[in-house]
Amino acid sequence: MTREFDVSLITENIAEMCIEANHFLSEDMKEALYAAAEREDSPVGREILSQLKENLKIAGEDMIPICQDTGMAVLFMEIGQDVHLTGGDLEEAVNAGVKKGYTEGYLRKSVVSDPLIRENTGDNTPAVIHVRIVPGDKIKLTLAPKGFGSENMSRVFMLKPAQGVEGVKDAVLTAVKDAGPNACPPVVVGVGIGGDFEKAAILAKQALTREAGKNSELPHIAALEKELLDMVNETDIGPGGLGGNTTAFAVNINTYATHIAGLPVAVNICCHVNRHVTRII
């Protein structure tokens, strides 16, 4: 059976999700922030975490975006292969939703149309869209508006297989240390291991949308996530980069098969405003 969807449904959902993501953090991120505020050792770090809690409260109550950088809209879309989309172009429908959300939600327009000419598009379009066709008759939308303070500190490393897991750890720590205070710590570290050059980067970005504190289902990867989180939190970068034991809330790793000659590792860093909203329609 084919299920028909009018693309205007996508537009409406995306618009609402843009506004929701920029004013309210998901429960897992909120819990991570509150838990960190309890166990942070540094007085300055504790003060910053308490101000971030206050910031989050004001954002939701007064409808002021959590951060002024309301991001570039990144969308992961899983479309069931039994879905038939009608009423227009899917990509245009997504961008119409971004435009509506960013305009009606008083969100910042942070996108320039050409990376060198740099004229603001005025409505935060276009989005960065990743589509996967999957079995079923539903559409799953995960919207993650991404700020660029932390995006700018992200890296791709093309390691050699011989560098192995130690090479992966070095890569993650290098990226986190180089980011230092610039990425607005505490951060969430999304890591993609495997695939090829661009697959690793997409895996890393998608890892950021996983619940903070929920480890990989693969035992060796879950162990690596825990070990890396401890290592990152021993760097003493701390909240605001001013020292402390809360440098990251989580290290989330996604993996994929790779080539016999390669070990790609992407590290996508996100600030504490790690926004992601998922809807299934």
Partner 1 sequence: MEYRIDLPLTKEYAEKLRIGDKVIFTGTIFTARDAAHKRMDESLDKDGTLPFDIKGNIIYYMGPSPARPGRVIGSAGPTTASRMDKYTPRLLDLGMAGMIGKGKRTPEVLDAVVRNKAVYFAAIGGAGALLSKCIKSSEVIAYDDLGTEAVRKLYVEDFPCIVVADTAGGNLYDR
Binding range to partner 1, per CB under 8 A, among 89-97, 108-116, 133-141, 166-174: 108-116
User: What is the sign of the dihedral through the CA atoms of 235, 243, 189 and 26?
Assistant: positive
Q: Show the site string, 182-221: x = touches partner 1 by CB under 8 A, - = not.
A: x-x-------------------------------------
Nearest CA-CA partner of 167 in 65, 18, 267 = 267
Nearest CA-CA partner of 83 in 134, 17, 145 = 134
Q: Provide, rounded to whole angstroms, the least separation between the CB of residue 120 and partner 1.
A: 5
Q: Provide, rounded to whole angstroms, the least separation between the CB of residue 106 and partner 1.
A: 5
Binding range to partner 1, per CB under 8 A, among 11-19, 73-81, 106-114, 166-174: 106-114
Binding range to partner 1, per CB under 8 A, among 1-9, 226-234, 251-259, 270-278: 270-278
Cα separations (Å) of 68 from 22, 148, 149, 194?
9, 11, 11, 34
Q: Provide, rounded to whole angstroms, the least separation between the CB of residue 23 and partner 1.
A: 9
Nearer to partner 1 by Cβ, of 237 and 265: the residue is 237
Q: Provide, rounded to whole angstroms, the least separation between the CB of residue 261 and partner 1.
A: 35
Binding range to partner 1, per CB under 8 A, among 77-85, 91-99, 118-126, 127-135: 118-126
Cα separations (Å) of 89 from 79, 141, 162?
14, 16, 46
- Taking residue 63's Cβ as centre, other Cβ atoms within 10 Å add up to 13
Nearer to partner 1 by Cβ, of 42 and 163: the residue is 42
Q: Which of 6, 84, 106, 281 binds partner 1 (CB under 8 A)?
A: 106
- Please name the residues in contact with 57: beta carbons below 8 A apart, sequence gap of 6 or more: none
Contacting partner 1 within 46-85 (CB under 8 A)? 48, 51-52, 54-56, 58-59, 62-70
Q: Provide, rounded to whole angstroms, the least separation between the CB of residue 202 and partner 1.
A: 24
User: What is the sign of the dihedral through the CA atoms of 87, 89, 90 and 95?
Assistant: negative
Backbone angles phi, psi at 105, to 5 degrees: -90, 5
Q: In what order do the strands lie in the sheet with 277-280?
A: 128-134, 72-80, 139-146, 277-280
* Side chain identity at residue 18, one-letter code: C
| CA–CA gap between residue 37 and residue 50 (Å, rounded) | 6
| CA–CA gap between residue 236 and residue 259 (Å, rounded) | 36
Q: Provide, rounded to whole angstroms, the least separation between the CB of residue 4 and partner 1.
A: 37
| CA–CA gap between residue 237 and residue 246 (Å, rounded) | 8
Nearer to partner 1 by Cβ, of 80 and 147: the residue is 147
Residue 113 found at the interface with partner 1 (CB under 8 A): no
User: Interface residues with partner 1 (CB under 8 A)?
Assistant: 44, 48, 51-52, 54-56, 58-59, 62-70, 106-110, 118, 120, 122, 149, 152, 180-182, 184, 236, 240-243, 271-273
